[in-house]
Structure 1
Amino acid sequence: MAIRQLPDTLVNQIAAGEVVERPASVVKELVENALDAGAGRIDIDLEEGGVRLIRVRDDGGGMPAEELPLAVSRHATSKIASLDDLEAVATLGFRGEALPSIASVSRFLIATRRGDQAHGAALAVEGGRVGEVVPKQQPPGTTVEVRDLFYNVPARRKFLRAERTELGHIEEWLRSLALARPDVELRVSHNGKPSRRYRAFAEAGGGLFTGERLGETLGEDFAKQALRIEHEGAGLRLHGWIAQPAYSRASADQQYVYVNGRPVRDRNIAHAAKQAFADVMYHGRQPAYVLFLALDPTRVDVNVHPAKHEVRFRDSRLVHDFVYRTLHAALAETRAGTTALPTAETATISGASTGVPGRSFPGALLATTQTMPQSASQVPMRLQVDEARAAYSALYAANEERPVLPRADESAGVPPLGYAVAQLHGIYILSEAADGLIVVDMHAAHERIGYERLKSAHDSEGLRAQPLLVPQSVAVSEREADLAEQEAAILAELGFEVSRAGPQSLLLRSVPALLAHGDVEALLRDVLADLREHGESLRIRGARDELLSTMACHGAVRANRRLTVPEMNALLRQMEATERSGQCNHGRPTWAHFPLPEIDRWFLRGR
């Protein structure tokens, strides 16, 4: 068959196959254009889930009438003019494909008016056939109507889902946008009825949105559990919100990532976040977060996907490490008692912060508390489970009784978790706090304390390598063998001494001592896969932590063990001083807080 030039209409329809997947894709492109035009309010009118009608009206800058034909021409844009512009794109749209692609598979109308013009102008396109520019009444800004999507491509239309499903995709994308742009008002109607309104809020310092926008997009439960993240370094800035580990999801439906304000799906960042939550999240559950990563636009390529869903970082290893360490450090500060009433407005955690800010503990309590051993010499890391149980089953027995406080000012000097008053069913500790009641699951709390002590002790010793009596040959792909040679130093830090034995084989001479009895071949392959994809591997630490968690679980105080008041108070003080003590090793909460006004409501006091 002879080579021929494709007609413009067919070229646009092919492009539409990449850009226009469903009605939500159309809404995305049109709304992003409105934002690039400086809109402060955007109205989205939909019919039949967007299949029958999508109308997007904005109050942005508009455009001159003579530019309308260019607006529906391929590769025509006002947003880039050179390669330098492309390498530092700061707008949401820039490819110049969206409008002509959408117009090629719909009945399309665009009307616009600049603020300094007396009247507006409109241009209709039907199935890719461009009409004439005509005068039209139009307020300042731009209105785009897309009717009968895919009417001329019936095969594509058959792949669309039910009206409710298509509307759900649109609503989810608008929710993502609302999180990123709290300064813009969004109004949505469906089949002639108002369905959603996101009010505009003044941005909080540094571009962070208010708790009100957080609540109206992700729900009040998320807003109440949200901890603010703010960290900067190495030319990167990460800010946003993470939900406390006790607030987890069955799916990844509340994980939002933005790079320089652009919503993206990035496996690198998602993997870093998952690793950061691994030590505090219940098995099979998903964390919830809204994260904004800002960096020099020249360090990220946004032109790797036709619909701009993905980006490529010039230094993905640095980005992965930065996100992981920021979130990991922030989650370490989720100590029991530090955020008794966490809210989107008040609970703030810096990725670089340490200690327990804003808290003062009675010195006598800490001074007289018998703590677990911390050094490697005191806690041999190769203890078997039975030995660990014997070493850690004894609770902290030396502590003073609860001090008697003047009833006129009983809250003075009360630590975050208060003072123990009773034990309930041999399982829970009841504690009187300054502003209400604290309930602690004593096994879960002690388990976390023991786990963190074991990790600290092992970290002080480092990842020791155990030489193998007979070097072990490991069959790998040639790509994996090359990688093992290149990353030999990193593998050595993780406890693996590896040398190349052939094009597709490695010789394993030593393995991490703590994991020597496991499947080290499979572990090595997984580590190499991590290094190839993310530039680092946390599998060794993960496997180690799983073993230490088991040891801590067996060593923790069991249910139905009666504790004295000094023992209970000692446990509370340890919780306040231990990282991640808000959750046990398996992600369950270790404590709950009931404010006094809530307890009053139980008994209708004051009514």
Structure 2
Amino acid sequence: MSNIQRLPQDTINRIAAGEVVERPASAVKELVENAIDAGARHIDIRAEQGGLSRILIEDNGSGMAGPDLELAVERHATSKLKPQADGTWDLLHIQTLGFRGEALPSMGSVARLNIVSKSRGGDALAIQVDGGAVSGLKPAAFGGDHGTRIDLRDLFYATPARLKFMKSERSENMAIAEEVKRQAMAHEDVGFSLELDGKRVLKLFAEQAGFEGRLRRLAAILGSDFGDNALLIDQAREGVRLTGYAGLPTFSRGNAMHQYLFVNNRPVRDKLLTGALRAAYADFLARDRHPLAALFVEIDPQDLDVNVHPAKAEVRFRDPNLVRGLIIGALKHGLASAGHRAATTVAQTALTGFRVESVQPLLNLNRPTPSQIAAVRPYMAPEPFAPTARFEPVSYETAAYALGVSEAPVLERPVDVAASAVDAFPLGAARAQIHETYIIAQTADGLVIVDQHAAHERLVYEEMKVAMAQGHVQSQSLLIPEIVDLEREEVARLVARRDDLATMGLQVEAFGPTSVLVRDIPALMGDCDISGLVRDLVDDLTEHGELLALKERMAEICGDHACRHSVRSGRRLNAHEMNALLRQMEATPHSGQCNHGRPTYVELKLKDIEKLFGRR
């Protein structure tokens, strides 16, 4: 008897189903994509007990006639691929979300599947698949003029081992909701509704296709704050286009869960794309902060391989460096266009820090000591206190002293700035400096509080970046040039970029076929591991085609220098210095956040301040 056995067809189907339908959210993904491919303009999704008990999806797509409905539950039968003139099937020009013809038969082999479909002008028909056993067509009732209703029950009942690896109902419900949100982001012109265990958790109406409709859809899913703090991204290069919205650096999160990437409207999880997103924000965020973004790559299907995995969550690009460079360049251009803008949530967070304290507890405090009374005697009303006495305004110098700003006024008496001048500047006109750290500026409709050190740190860093981009990086010659051994191909790859390295202060040349000679290094780097740096550069060139290791190291050093050489907290500034800092912030890109991703200023609108005092 042979040691190799042919598996039964039902076992083959169940093994294959494990690749396509990993969990209930995978089934929802496949069914929603089928509905979108069928031209549905609205899709209703319902799930019970994490989708394991029941998943019901109804759409108003084109529907299926009897013969198509019978073929739909057979493995590798699809309407998405068409034979070419020479009889071959083209897998390099896929323009639909589905194409493998595995979803419905996979679900039918591990669950109880009931499909009711009605084509335009046809009758509604139903077909059932129970653990791989297919029943015949039957007449059925369908509420709409056309569309499909799929009822999937007892998922994985035919493969009990898979049930052991399912997570809690709450986790599975969250995965289903996340999958529906991703699909809704990619197709703003399709309406979606989602019910989990009888509770409506999502209701999205179809939006007009385009940037405005997409932003409204993203704001409906990610929150109105995203809509208020998102930057439009729209760049193209060599036939590849990147669109979407990315959040301001000060509008960030502690994890990368709110990063959504789509390729030809297909939700994907790709390390290349997420790495490019991280690199674009490297100058603006601390290592433990992550940007919010929804980015859409449009590319010729022939330059893309979506047939990598049955779940179709991974893709391969013909030219990954082109796509990566486009993402980084487009995001940096979008961030630069934001200028000094900071997230609106910064002000909201600041306002929540204000607490209205009751005055009543203050009346029960112990009486001050004689020494305390003597210290404030010059600023007290004559005793006995006369309630009807006329109020005399306290002078600026006395108020500054009483508030503990300084022993003497921090500034000269504030310079009166005309109202027209205040209106002319986004960050307003400086009025005071408190605690020798924060600048208070008056704007046309509120006030701005600036962290002088964080703001100046960003300005210095941006100046250093401009100098680096223009090739003004000083080199330091090594007393003894260092030889670094590499592979032959690595030497050629590194020497080919010697001019780019020279602009950043690193001088390398070939030293035989398998080594390079380093003569100069950037003066900023001081005593560093030259051999390790060169090998990191070679790895970057091999994987990404970019000199990331040197750029990131130089950026880190520049950030440290900017921090050390900026205006320190505790330094007194006069009115002219404060206004000069504000004007420079307005003219400098990215000045809304420091090098570590923290905001450099907080803007409070007058209407919000008035709410604090109950005036509105």
- TM tier, smaller: 0.7 to 0.9
Structure 1 residues 159 and 340 mapped into 2: Cα distance closer, same or farther (>3 Å)?
Answer: closer
Q: 1:98 aligns with which of 100, 103, 106?
A: 103
Structure 1 residues 554 and 471 mapped into 2: Cα distance closer, same or farther (>3 Å)?
Answer: closer
Equivalent position amino acid for 1:102 in 2: M
User: What is residue 575 of structure 1 aligned with on the other side?
Assistant: 585
Other structure's SS at 2:577 match: helix
Equivalent position amino acid for 1:311 in 2: V
Q: 1:244 aligns with which of 248, 252, 256?
A: 248
Q: 1:143 aligns with which of 149, 153, 178?
A: 149
User: What is residue 373 of structure 1 aligned with on the other side?
Assistant: none
Q: 1:110 aligns with which of 115, 118, 123?
A: 115
In the alignment, structure 1 residue 482 sits paired with structure 2 residue 483: no
Structure 1 residues 532 and 545 mapped into 2: Cα distance closer, same or farther (>3 Å)?
Answer: same
In the alignment, structure 1 residue 308 sits paired with structure 2 residue 318: no
Structure 1 residues 308 and 337 mapped into 2: Cα distance closer, same or farther (>3 Å)?
Answer: closer
User: What is residue 233 of structure 1 aligned with on the other side?
Assistant: 237
TM-score (structure 1 length as normaliser): 0.84
Other structure's SS at 1:186 match: strand
In structure 2, how many angstroms separate the alpha carbons of the residues matched to 1:411 and 1:49?
60
Q: How does 1:392-403 map to 2 (within 5 A)?
A: none
User: What is residue 508 of structure 2 aligned with on the other side?
Assistant: 497
In the alignment, structure 1 residue 286 sits paired with structure 2 residue 296: no
Runs (4+) off by over 6 Å:
338-343
Q: Deviation at 1:260?
A: 1.1
User: What is residue 555 of structure 2 aligned with on the other side?
Assistant: 545
Q: How does 1:116-515 map to 2 (within 5 A)?
A: 116-117=121-122, 119-138=123-142, 139=144, 140-205=146-211, 209-337=213-341, 404-405=417-418, 410=420, 414-462=424-472, 468-474=478-484, 481-490=488-497, 493-494=500-501, 495=506, 497=508, 499=510, 506-510=515-519, 512-514=521-523, 515=525
Q: Deviation at 1:212?
A: 3.5
Q: Deviation at 1:590?
A: 0.4
In the alignment, structure 1 residue 598 sits paired with structure 2 residue 608: yes
What is the number of residues matched between the two proteins?
538
Other structure's SS at 1:209 match: helix
Q: Deviation at 1:5?
A: 4.1
Other structure's SS at 2:150 match: strand
> Do 2:225 and 2:345's aligned partners in 1 also have CA atoms closer than 8 Å?
no
> Do 1:467 and 1:510's aligned partners in 2 also have CA atoms closer than 8 Å?
yes
Q: Deviation at 1:462?
A: 4.8
Other structure's SS at 1:336 match: coil
> Do 1:228 and 1:241's aligned partners in 2 also have CA atoms closer than 8 Å?
yes
Structure 1 residues 452 and 299 mapped into 2: Cα distance closer, same or farther (>3 Å)?
Answer: same
- Per mean C-alpha deviation after superposition, the further-off stretch among 417-426 and 507-516 is 507-516
In structure 2, how many angstroms separate the alpha carbons of the residues matched to 1:584 and 1:320?
25
Equivalent position amino acid for 1:14 in 2: I
Any unmatched runs of 5+ in structure 1? Answer: 344-400
Structure 1 residues 404 and 191 mapped into 2: Cα distance closer, same or farther (>3 Å)?
Answer: closer
Equivalent position amino acid for 1:103 in 2: G
Equivalent position amino acid for 2:48 in 1: E
Equivalent position amino acid for 1:133 in 2: L
Q: Deviation at 1:543?
A: 0.6
Equivalent position amino acid for 2:36 in 1: L
In structure 1, how many angstroms separate the alpha carbons of the residues matched to 2:21 and 2:343?
45
Equivalent position amino acid for 2:235 in 1: H
User: What is residue 565 of structure 2 aligned with on the other side?
Assistant: 555
User: What is residue 22 of structure 1 aligned with on the other side?
Assistant: 23
In structure 1, how many angstroms separate the alpha carbons of the residues matched to 2:343 and 2:7?
63
Q: Deviation at 1:419?
A: 0.6
- Per mean C-alpha deviation after superposition, the further-off stretch among 558-567 and 7-16 is 7-16
CA deviation vs aligned residue, 1:215-234 (integer Å, no higher than 9, x gap):
32112332322122122232
Other structure's SS at 2:231 match: strand
Q: Deviation at 1:492?
A: 5.1
> Do 2:251 and 2:343's aligned partners in 1 also have CA atoms closer than 8 Å?
no
Other structure's SS at 2:260 match: strand
Equivalent position amino acid for 2:63 in 1: G
In structure 1, how many angstroms separate the alpha carbons of the residues matched to 2:57 and 2:441?
56
Q: Deviation at 1:71?
A: 0.4
Equivalent position amino acid for 2:435 in 1: H
